[in-house]
Amino acid sequence: MKKTCKVEKKDLLVNNIYKMTFDAGESGFKQPGQYAMIEARGRRKPYQVCQFDSNRFTIVFPTDDDISKDLSELNIGDEVIIEGGLGSGFISDAAPDEVCIVANGMGIPEMLGVARSLLMRGKRCKTVLEYPSKQDIYMLDSFKDLVNEIEVVTIDGSNGREGTAVDVVKKDDYVLASGTLDMLKKLADKVSEGQFSLSSTILAHSGDYDDCFLETTEGTKNCSDDGPVFDKNAILWEMITV
């Protein structure tokens, strides 16, 4: 259900990436990995949610298109129209007692809520975050308070370890992941089990968010309704083109 909510807080994290919190009265979120449809200045777009409670939710986003630029220009107290708690997120109870969170790109913020959910359930969590370079690192301290172990890699090696997140993951890890399609495909080939979010790939790049389809072992699914989080073994990866 659409509702009007107010911008409660706004911060510039790094480069062109903003963090924005909304007071929604009742947020509607139940699982990490669900998303919000936000309409600002007459245009709408889905945004990943990095944390939420019963009344508020927070998104982190780059200003890489006109809609997001408009959103970033709003001030505290400004109003937007939102639909919250959309889609199907990560099922924390389905994960084993030891898991590995993996993220890169704009998949990183979404996994903060996943880490918090796993912590609340007493699960041991290793986290691997991939950034392009040291100067692109953000939200790292937020993860440190929630996970048992964290490793940061940068593509250019400027923060110490050079490489990709996939390089760090072990074959027997149960992975909960979000990020670029290239990373997700490589992870899917490497590990046997996990839950993967396509919110920063298929959903974010779909021209019509109500017609966002994904081919799975159980037939065609609507990514915006049945997902954006799926069991990694249910996705027919070779049929994804974005």
| pLDDT above 60: residue 225 | yes
Q: How far apart are CA 109 and CA 11, in angstroms?
A: 14
pLDDT confidence bin for 223, thresholds 50/70/90 = confident
pLDDT in tens, 184-203: 999 999 999 999 999 887 76
Using alpha carbons, select from 205, 207, 204, 202 the residue that is nearest to residue 220: 202
Q: Which CATH architecture has domain 92-239?
A: 3-Layer(aba) Sandwich (3.40)
| H-run or E-run covering 129 | strand 124-131
**Banded model confidence at residue 206, pLDDT cuts 50, 70, 90:** low
Q: Are 175 and 230 in contact (CB under 8 A)?
A: no
**Would you say residue 180 has pLDDT above 90?**
yes
Ordered by start, the domain boundaries in the chain are 3-86, 92-239
> Residue 15's pLDDT is what?
87
pLDDT at 208 over 70: no
pLDDT score, position 87: 92
Q: Give the residue carrying structure tokens 């998303």.
A: 35
Question: What rounded mean pLDDT belongs to the chain?
Answer: 92
Contact predicate 115/125, CB 8 Å:
yes
Query: Could you give the C-alpha distances from 236 to 104, 231, 241, in angstroms and in order?
Result: 21, 11, 11
User: Residue 90: its pLDDT value, please?
Assistant: 97
Nearest in space to 224 (alpha carbons), one of 241, 208, 207, 209: 209
- Cα Rg, the chain, nearest whole Å: 17
- pTM for this model (two decimals): 0.93
Once rounded to an integer, what is the mean pLDDT over residues 41-60?
Answer: 91
Q: What is the DSSP letter of 233?
A: G
Structural class in CATH, domain 3-86: mainly beta
Count CA atoms within 13 Å of residue 132 on its CB side.
Answer: 7
Supply the pLDDT for residue 24: 86
